[in-house]
């Protein structure tokens, strides 16, 4: 018998080095030595190959783990060869060759291994794509302890929307990095249809050993072109040297504002050719919906003339929005001549008004304080004469030249040219300014329009409210209806705050004297009223109307909602908001239509009394429109308010449920929640119609 060099148990097992080249041993087993043991170790996940050949009698072989438990084995009959081929993880192993049937036998043992690839990983360069975009892998790497040259391929599979796994193209080109055993690779997919995808992969080396499996997910959506592009200029007329600034700039992209590439602008002067001017490529999210974008834009250095500004938005795949344009004028200032024959000398006849206006215009603008001062100059003789009335009207009609801000021009126009609301002041007869008007009448007109002194009538007590106009941003959840039935108006505020908080912000001008000028829109033309900080309170000092339940002295009060409501009550007296035309809170509490509120708050075109239709409402919501739903007068669910306006603040395309906001507010102390999620069948059975703004 030859000498036995193998171990007879685990502790004496003979060590074999595993390499890609076979390690060959010739040995024997028999009655006196029925079992041989060998040991080996793997530094990484590896393929493992064993062959037991040239047997003279029956013998079997087993692969054991480090604890001696059988991993696998080969058990052929008689003198047939035995073999094991498998993939093993990092660790120590034993090989057991043992006698079967009692006969002695010699054998040849051949063992080899190849370290399998491992640490396969990758990501996609984005989590979501649009149809037509190429999906590219990022940070794609795999490790092979035998070197990059040992890698054969990375096998890929693709699954769409939870369906079957499709075989797609593989990767077979690799680049080594600073670690020669770590490889990187490139991979991309194109021409994918819309859907949710899972990308799976596994790496193979040249011996067929495999790595870990790895997968990542991404989505492909149909590209939505930008839409609802709109803007205004901050004034309709400018002087040479002034900067033209855009306001109320908005554009909607259903794929999110990150999909927007630019807004392209063209400028036309005096009906001439359209000139290419600078574009906008930076956008900010409006409110909580990242599909609504705003942007800043200004033009300077323009000469006098009549201008048209045209624009169109593009997304990153080149889809375009509606076109939008607006007009403005650039005026050449009238030069001042040395002999004093300036504009004021030529146009203002009353010496007192002329001197006051010329003095106030020294800085080339007549602001709110300037206009108020000039109006009060007229009170010098206790009675307003015909020349003074004419001069004041001349000033207002030349607001562009005198650079009177639009809000100041509108208010001054109501003072000097009249308004339906001038019939009363603090419930007493007032009247429009005219020849022979008293200084008291003029002062009351100033107070009414510039200081909010004609507060809406109410059975509650007015007290000075502490707090700030805005606190911690603008949100539809700031809305909380009080004791009057003005849900239609508060619904309009809530939808505007949800869709376009900048519109709410731009409604208000803080005059710096505890008054606020508030803007509304009459048939698309801006109108203004002024309110002070005095608000109706209960006997215990809590606000009675919007912001109901807030203590009037609380420094954390957010006042924009209740000030807007107060301004709306004052505006009612001007006779165009479809209420009872009185300056009272009761006057706006008879109910109304949300579409009217949408138009009056935003200046946008609206659609009213629309028949309930699922697709129409979803499309309107997805396009960024303001949406209000009116409940039935009777027969509604117990958690819904009858004869009431709700606004849509969310839609889940997966569940097809709508999230609605009740203007009663979040913490309204009732069984009617402030926010409610409803399926379409619940909307159809509880609501009667819907109002919205129109897609441009």
Which active-site residues does the annotation give? 487, 644, 662
E strand residue ranges, 144-236? 151-160, 165-167, 175-176, 182-184, 188-189, 195-205, 210-221, 227-233
Sequence-distant (≥ 6) Cβ neighbours of residue 300 within 8 angstroms: 242, 243, 244
CB-facing half-sphere around the CA of 173: CA atoms within 13 A = 3
Sequence-distant (≥ 6) Cβ neighbours of residue 553 within 8 angstroms: 466, 541
List b or e across 67-86, with b for residues whose CB sees 16 or more CB atoms inside 10 angstroms.
Answer: eeeeeeebebeeeeebebee
> Rounded to an integer, what distance in angstroms lies between the CA atom of residue 171 and that of residue 430?
86
Sequence-distant (≥ 6) Cβ neighbours of residue 612 within 8 angstroms: 683, 684, 687, 688, 689, 690
β-partners of residue 314 are 262, 320
> Rounded to an integer, what distance in angstroms lies between the CA atom of residue 83 and that of residue 405?
94
Q: CA torsion 478→480→485→487, rounded to 10°?
A: 40
Sequence-distant (≥ 6) Cβ neighbours of residue 101 within 8 angstroms: 57, 58
> Rounded to an integer, what distance in angstroms lies between the CA atom of residue 667 and that of residue 543?
15
Per the CB < 8 A criterion, the answer to whether 304 and 240 are in contact is yes
Please report, for residues 260, 293, 296, 313, 455, the alpha-carbon distance to residue 280 in angstroms, rounded to integers and kept in the order given: 10, 12, 8, 9, 43
Sequence-distant (≥ 6) Cβ neighbours of residue 396 within 8 angstroms: 404, 409, 412, 413, 416, 417
Q: Which of 602, 576, 400 is nearest to 506 (CA)?
A: 602
């Amino acid at each position: 018998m030859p000498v036995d060099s193998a171990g007879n148990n685990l502790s004496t097992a003979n060590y074999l080095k595993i390499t890609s080249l076979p390690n060959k041993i010739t040995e024997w087993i028999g009655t006196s030595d029925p079992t041989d043991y060998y040991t080996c170790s793997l530094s990484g996940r590896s393929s493992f190959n064993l062959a037991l050949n040239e047997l003279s009698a029956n013998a079997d072989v087993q692969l054991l783990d480090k604890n001696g438990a059988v991993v696998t084995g080969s058990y052929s009959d008689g003198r047939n060869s035995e073999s094991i081929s498998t993939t093993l993880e990092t660790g120590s192993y034993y090989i057991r060759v043992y006698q079967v049937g009692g006969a002695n036998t010699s054998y040849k043992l051949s063992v080899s291994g190849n370290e399998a690839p491992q640490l396969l990983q990758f990501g996609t360069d984005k989590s979501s794509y649009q149809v037509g975009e190429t999906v590219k892998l990022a940070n794609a790497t795999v490790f092979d302890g035998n070197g990059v040259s040992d890698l054969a391929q990375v096998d890929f599979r693709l699954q769409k929307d939870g369906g079957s796994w499709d075989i797609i193209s593989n990767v077979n080109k690799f680049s080594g990095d600073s670690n020669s055993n770590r490889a990187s690779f490139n991979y991309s997919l194109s021409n994918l249809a819309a859907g949710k995808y899972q990308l799976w992969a596994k790496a193979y080396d040249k011996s067929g050993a495999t790595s870990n499996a790895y997968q990542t997910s991404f989505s492909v959506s149909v590209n939505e072109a930008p839409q609802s592009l709109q803007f205004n200029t901050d004034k309709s007329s400018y002087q040479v040297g002034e900067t033209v600034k855009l306001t109320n700039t908005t554009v909607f992209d259903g794929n999110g504002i990150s999909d927007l590439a630019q807004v392209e602008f063209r400028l036309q002067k005096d009906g001439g050719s359209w000139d290419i001017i600078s574009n906008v490529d930076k956008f900010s999210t409006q409110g909580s919906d990242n599909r609504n974008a705003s942007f800043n834009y200004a033009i300077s250095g323009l000469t006098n003339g009549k201008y048209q500004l045209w624009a169109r938005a593009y997304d990153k795949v080149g889809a375009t929005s509606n076109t939008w344009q607006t007009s403005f004028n650039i005026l050449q200032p009238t030069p001042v001549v040395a002999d004093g024959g300036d504009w004021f000398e030529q146009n203002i006849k009353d010496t007192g008004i002329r001197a006051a206006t010329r003095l106030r215009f020294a800085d080339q603008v007549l602001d709110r304080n300037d206009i108020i001062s000039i109006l009060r100059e007229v009170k010098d003789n206790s009675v307003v004469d015909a020349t003074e009335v004419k001069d004041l009207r001349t000033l207002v009609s030349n607001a562009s030249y005198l650079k009177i801000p639009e809000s100041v021009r509108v208010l001054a126009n109501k003072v000097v040219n009249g308004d339906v609301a001038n019939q009363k002041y603090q419930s007493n007869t007032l009247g429009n300014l005219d020849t022979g008007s008293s200084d008291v009448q003029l002062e009351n007109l100033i107070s009414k329009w510039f200081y909010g002194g004609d507060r809406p009538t109410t059975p509650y007590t007015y007290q000075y409210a502490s707090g700030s106009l805005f606190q911690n941003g603008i949100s539809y959840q700031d809305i909380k209806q009080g004791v009057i039935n003005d849900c239609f108006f508060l619904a309009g505020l809530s939808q505007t705050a949800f869709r376009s908080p900048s519109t709410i912000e731009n409604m208000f001008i803080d005059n710096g004297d505890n008054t606020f000028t508030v803007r509304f829109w009459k048939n698309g033309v801006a109108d203004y009223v002024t309110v002070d900080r005095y608000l109706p309170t209960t006997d215990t000092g809590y606000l009675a109307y919007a912001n109901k339940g807030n203590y009037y002295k609380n420094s954390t009060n957010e006042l924009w909602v209740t000030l807007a409501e107060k301004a709306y009550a004052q505006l009612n007296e001007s006779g165009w908001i479809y209420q009872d035309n009185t300056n009272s809170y009761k006057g706006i509490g008879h109910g109304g239509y949300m579409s009217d509120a949408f138009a009056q708050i935003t200046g946008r075109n609206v659609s009213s009394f629309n028949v309930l239709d699922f697709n129409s409402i979803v499309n309107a919501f997805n396009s960024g429109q303001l949406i209000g739903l009116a409940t039935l007068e009777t027969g509604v669910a117990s958690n819904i308010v009858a004869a009431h306006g709700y606004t849509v603040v969310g839609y889940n395309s997966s569940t097809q449920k709508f999230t609605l906001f009740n203007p009663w507010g979040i913490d309204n102390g009732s069984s009617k929640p402030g926010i409610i999620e409803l399926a379409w069948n619940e909307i159809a059975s509880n609501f009667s119609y819907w109002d919205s703004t129109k897609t441009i």
